[in-house]
Amino acid sequence: MSSVAIHSDHEMQHGFHGPEKGLMRWVMTTNHKDIGTLYLWFSFMMFLAGGSMAMCIRAELFKPGLQFFEPGFFNQLTTMHGLIMIFGAVMPGFVGLANWMIPIMIGAPDMALPRMNNWSFWLLPFAFTILMSTLFMKGPAPDFGWTAYAPLSTTYGPKSTDFFIFSIHLMGLSSIMGAINIIATILNLRAPGLTMMKMPIFVWTWLITAFLLIAVMPVLAGAVTMMLMDRNFGTSFFNAAGGGDPVMYQHIFWFFGHPEVYIMILPSFGIMSEIIPTFSRKPLFGYTSMVYATSSIALLSFLVWAHHMFTTGIPVIGEIYFMLATMLIAVPTGVKIFNWVATMFRGALSFETPMLFATSFVVLFTIGGFSGLMLAMVPADYQYHDTYFVVAHFHYVLVPGAIFGIIAATYYWLPKWTGHYYSETLGRIHFWLSAIALNVLFFPMHFLGLAGMPRRIPDYALEFADFNRIASIGGFVFGASQLLFLYIVIKAVRGGPKAPDKVWEGAHGLEWTLTSPPPYHSFSTPPQVN
């Protein structure tokens, strides 16, 4: 049965037919595919909004001097860009993919808690409306960076900071409900015979990610609640004059913030572990080690938070511990990279658009990992801290890592979702524009940072002008190329070459490699199904 037929069957079961198929279908739906679609479209809208702010930032930095914005508004843009991209674009994008694919991959009829699924999505548009409305309030919007360090956000934060705090609470509530739903679905609704160690890697990565979300979102909620108390109720959690400590905020925030980085990358690891075997026509190399590596990364992510704080004056023994623990994360990450390369090794490779994005993910994410190792070294970090080297590092991890992961997954599963193939030619053009522009945009930032250019400033010394101009041109091209992606998706949704039930079989032969691990006929003994 084709995916389109499955979708329409599901609609009939849920009562969406006739005149009710309108706006209310999307508002009231409990269908995991509809909710996944809502998440993905919301994610893309936020991606364009956050990307537009990035374009404004790069326009300001195109040459030295103040061109368009006052420094205060520039700081509001950088704050809003970070918040929107992390909480509005990347996380909802991955939750949308989880909603669409996890029930299908484990043979479940729907998510375990469908009404809560609906609610967890509809919190997000309200949360981001509140957040972005601060740009239009009397007085400045939040201007303290997405990290909201005290005392910039407490003693000196603008009045709109309270709206920022409320929106963060709503986003956190949405994330926790989504994570509970995913865990309940995976643990309780698997098809008979589908043991944990036979689940696709994408399902595994999301199970681990969901536990991370439940562990760390309350920590963020606690931090912003303490901010709220300091601002409005006379407490002094982060106020040194009242016996508090602003550095305590950093400890609490980064105990959330570092696992959050892995929340934004682990689902991408799962996506790559689905795409690479398909286009290599080989089973995934080292399935068990992939599961254990993912679990190790998640565990270690809780033990390294203070590597963001080397310049705050923590004891030397603490610096040594956090330096070594940070370097240790490179081991399970290296295992995953090795397994992907080993999967491709001597495979019958073909480079359709999803595979192009997947291979670029492996290469560019590795570059981001190497600059992360540089930042892990305490003496070097003193020089790199708060320069554009850090900006280059986390964008090399998150743009090829998270954004390319979501794009690759969209190309990979879009024929399954819509029943239509996308335009392969346009997809490849989109890839090459994105990949080249991304490197033109972010690679010069390494040199800017090593030369000493500080981040979050709208003006800079003349010697930084050339690299900034190159980066801005790359940024404009990268931003414009995402409009081509929008066109490709809409074109596929509206029609195109019809996709068969086994989407990649016609072009790629071995449909069974869509699952990881592959079904029993690739091994010696079949699974026992009662």
Candidates 231, 307, 385, 446; catalytic one:
307
The answer for residues whose C-beta is within 8 angstroms of residue 38's C-beta and 6 or more apart is 26, 29, 96, 121
Looking at the chain, how many residues does it have? 530
Give yes or no: 133 in active site: no
Distance CA(528)–CA(189), nearest Å, equals 18
Candidates 258, 416, 430, 446; catalytic one:
258
Candidates 41, 146, 149, 321; catalytic one:
146
Distance CA(337)–CA(343), nearest Å, equals 10
Distance CA(499)–CA(497), nearest Å, equals 6
Would you tell me how many other CB atoms lie within 10 Å of the CB of residue 163?
A: 18
Distance CA(527)–CA(346), nearest Å, equals 28
Do 11 and 61 touch, CB atoms closer than 8 A?
no
Candidates 11, 230, 260, 381; catalytic one:
260
Candidates 308, 395, 416, 430; catalytic one:
308
Give yes or no: 524 in active site: no
Give yes or no: 110 in active site: yes
Distance CA(236)–CA(420), nearest Å, equals 58
Between the CA of residue 385 and those of 86, 324, 330, 398, what are the distances in Å? Answer: 21, 18, 20, 18
Give the per-residue pLDDT at 505: 65
Supply the Cα-derived Rg of the chain in whole angstroms: 23
Q: Name the DSSP class of 59.
A: H
Q: What is the Cβ-side half-sphere exposure of residue 417, based on CA atoms within 13 angstroms?
A: 24
Candidates 185, 333, 410, 472; catalytic one:
333
Of 485, 396, 469, 472, nearest to 433 by C-alpha is: 485
Query: Per the structure block, which two tokens stand in for 450?
Result: 């090593």
Distance CA(167)–CA(131), nearest Å, equals 6
The amino acid that residue 387 corresponds to is T
Candidates 455, 456, 469, 491; catalytic one:
455
Give the per-residue pLDDT at 528: 39
The answer for residues whose C-beta is within 8 angstroms of residue 165's C-beta and 6 or more apart is 224, 225, 227, 228
Give yes or no: 81 in active site: yes
Candidates 174, 360, 418, 434; catalytic one:
174
Give yes or no: 336 in active site: yes
Candidates 273, 280, 294, 353; catalytic one:
273
C-alpha dihedral sign at 500, 505, 343, 289: positive
Would you tell me how many other CB atoms lie within 10 Å of the CB of residue 224?
A: 24
Of 57, 17, 48, 249, nearest to 153 by C-alpha is: 249
Candidates 175, 185, 205, 387; catalytic one:
175
Candidates 33, 58, 81, 231; catalytic one:
81
Q: Name the DSSP class of 516.
A: S
Q: Name the DSSP class of 456.
A: S
Give yes or no: 70 in active site: no
Query: Per the structure block, which two tokens stand in for 291?
Result: 């599961």
Give yes or no: 268 in active site: no
Distance CA(273)–CA(198), nearest Å, equals 14
Give yes or no: 3 in active site: no
Give yes or no: 174 in active site: yes
Candidates 34, 60, 110, 143; catalytic one:
110
Candidates 58, 169, 336, 430; catalytic one:
336
Per-residue model confidence as pLDDT tens for the chain (530 residues): 444 444 444 444 444 444 456 888 899 999 999 999 999 999 999 999 999 999 999 999 999 998 999 999 999 999 999 999 999 999 999 999 999 999 999 999 999 999 999 999 999 999 999 999 999 998 899 999 999 999 999 999 999 999 999 999 999 999 999 999 999 999 999 999 999 999 999 999 999 999 999 999 999 999 999 999 999 999 999 999 999 999 999 999 999 999 999 999 999 999 999 999 999 988 999 999 999 999 999 999 999 999 999 999 999 999 999 999 999 999 999 999 999 999 999 888 889 999 999 999 999 999 999 999 999 999 999 999 999 999 999 999 999 999 999 999 999 999 999 999 999 999 999 999 999 999 999 999 999 999 999 999 999 999 999 999 999 999 999 999 999 999 999 999 998 888 888 888 644 444 444 444 444 433 333 333 33
Candidates 262, 287, 411, 504; catalytic one:
262
The answer for residues whose C-beta is within 8 angstroms of residue 251's C-beta and 6 or more apart is 305, 306, 309
Give yes or no: 412 in active site: no
